[in-house]
Structure 1
């Protein structure tokens, strides 16, 4: 069990709806204006974090809009005052020296609320069509390991000379470094063996894709047992939430979204064709029917308000600190979660702590 308090975050809608594109209750909208308003509302509702996924072209259908992650992160940093801003990064798209400078800039704009989410790419056309090339799975992780080594050391203010297979950095120094802490946090995604080794060596937080509690507990146990020289690793989980007053209402809402998502079959076929089959995320997502991306409803957060709150507590007991959430229609369901679920979870957490406080006396 983690002793850290629970945190709740939202996925920014960088490529529109997370469950189904043909939903009359949520027309497609990946605009800057919508994402700006969404994050500002999330902050006002008490959410702790937002994740801005990085894609240069839409991963589902190339003629659909796609928000650019890093310019959006900088703008959101200037507009918000409390919420953590996590921008995803695919190492092949940015030289590590340039990325470290961007990260430090947003870190100081946000006054110490910025983080990067290292992902080693699964969407082949994004790199192939740019002439960058799409390396084999384990080679991408080897590149990412070298890349994050350079980025991390530069973000900490080190004068760096580094010679590796991919990078030759000579006497490089970045200023200003973070004015608020040692460096921005590093989140790492991916569940393959190279990904687990990478996060154990270089990550602060491991993002796990939505899946059943017993599977998540096994993943946490594996990575938490690996040797580290840094502070203990923290854990986050992606999940799509469908919560209602009753379980029957929640299941009906789930079936509605599941049926709508079937209309996106041509888009999903394109995504499957463009995806590296060795990516564990995609293998996990195909185990069962689900709604949402990055595992979605496979985490089981579908049910009555009390059921969903209890399942969140069970994940927290297993070690999950941060829940990065998806909804649809996003704004209305995000507000429902803040009103109905977060207070239940907080109340349960306080109740569970009272015997510990009493025994301490």
Structure 2
């Protein structure tokens, strides 16, 4: 079991709805205004974190709106008071010195509530169309390892010199350093062998894509057993939640979302064509029936309020601390979860 109590976060709607884009109960909206209000409401409801995914091009359809993650995160940092702001970063898009400076600035704006989520990219057009190039899977992780080594040192306020295959940084120092802790927290996503090695070496928290409890237990055991320096690794899980008063109501809503998601089949085919086939997430979930991204309903958080709470506690006992959640309709079901499920989880976890 995690030594820390369960925490709950929400995925920001940076590219619109998470389960189905053609939902009359949740019209497509990836605007700054909606995301601002969503995250402020999440903070008022008691959620602990928000994850702001980074895309420059909408991964479903380049003609659809896409929120920019880092400028939005800086604004959210100034507007909020308590919630942790976790912002994804694809290393090829920013030099590590520039990104570290941006991260330290948001750390200052937020008063020590900022974290970055290192992801090594799966959406080919974002990099290829920009002329950056889309390196082979393992090479992206080798690049990411050097990149986060530079960033981590700079975030600690260290005078940094780094000479590697990709970066040559000489005597670099960033100020102000964090006034609140050693450095902002580093989350790492990805489940391939290079991803596991990277998180064991450089991460503070491993973000696992939603999947059944037994699979999550296996993943945690593998990475937790690896050598690392510093504090023990912590774990987070992505999941799409459907919680209702009864099992039947929850299943009916899941069936409804499957029907809506079927309308997005052409867009999902675009995502598939643009994705690196070596990405474990897409290998795993292309074969499963689910709604939502990053594993979605594969974690099984669909059912009555009591059932969903019990399943969350089971994941927590397996070592998951932070649950990064998706809903649809998002605002309505986020409020429902805060009022009906979180209290049940707190009570069960305290036993």
CA–CA separation in structure 2 for the residues paired with 1:243 and 1:286: 24
Per the alignment, residue 124 of structure 1 pairs with: 124
Per the alignment, residue 95 of structure 1 pairs with: 95
**Offset, 1:251:** 0.2
**Offset, 1:155:** 0.5
**Offset, 1:113:** 0.2
Correspondences of 1:1-361 after superposition (within 5 Å): 1-350=1-350, 352=351
TM-score if structure 1 supplies the norm length? 0.97
> Superposition RMSD on alpha carbons, in Å?
0.4
Structure 2's unaligned 5+ residue stretches are none
CA–CA separation in structure 2 for the residues paired with 1:285 and 1:11: 19
**Offset, 1:70:** 0.1
**Offset, 1:287:** 2.8
CA–CA separation in structure 2 for the residues paired with 1:131 and 1:339: 47
CA–CA separation in structure 2 for the residues paired with 1:345 and 1:287: 31
CA–CA separation in structure 1 for the residues paired with 2:329 and 2:40: 17
CA deviations over 1:300-327 (Å, ceiling 9, x no partner): 0000000000000000010000000000
Per the alignment, residue 355 of structure 1 pairs with: none
Ranges of 4+ aligned residues in structure 1 off by more than 3 Å: none
CA–CA separation in structure 1 for the residues paired with 2:280 and 2:186: 21
Secondary structure at the aligned position of 2:174 is classed as coil
CA deviations over 1:40-94 (Å, ceiling 9, x no partner): 0000000000000000010110000000000000000000000000000000000
TM-score if structure 2 supplies the norm length? 1.00
Equivalences, count:
351
CA–CA separation in structure 2 for the residues paired with 1:259 and 1:230: 47
Secondary structure at the aligned position of 2:238 is classed as strand
CA–CA separation in structure 1 for the residues paired with 2:217 and 2:327: 24
Structure 1's unaligned 5+ residue stretches are 353-361
CA deviations over 1:4-59 (Å, ceiling 9, x no partner): 11000000000000000010000000000000000000000000000000000101
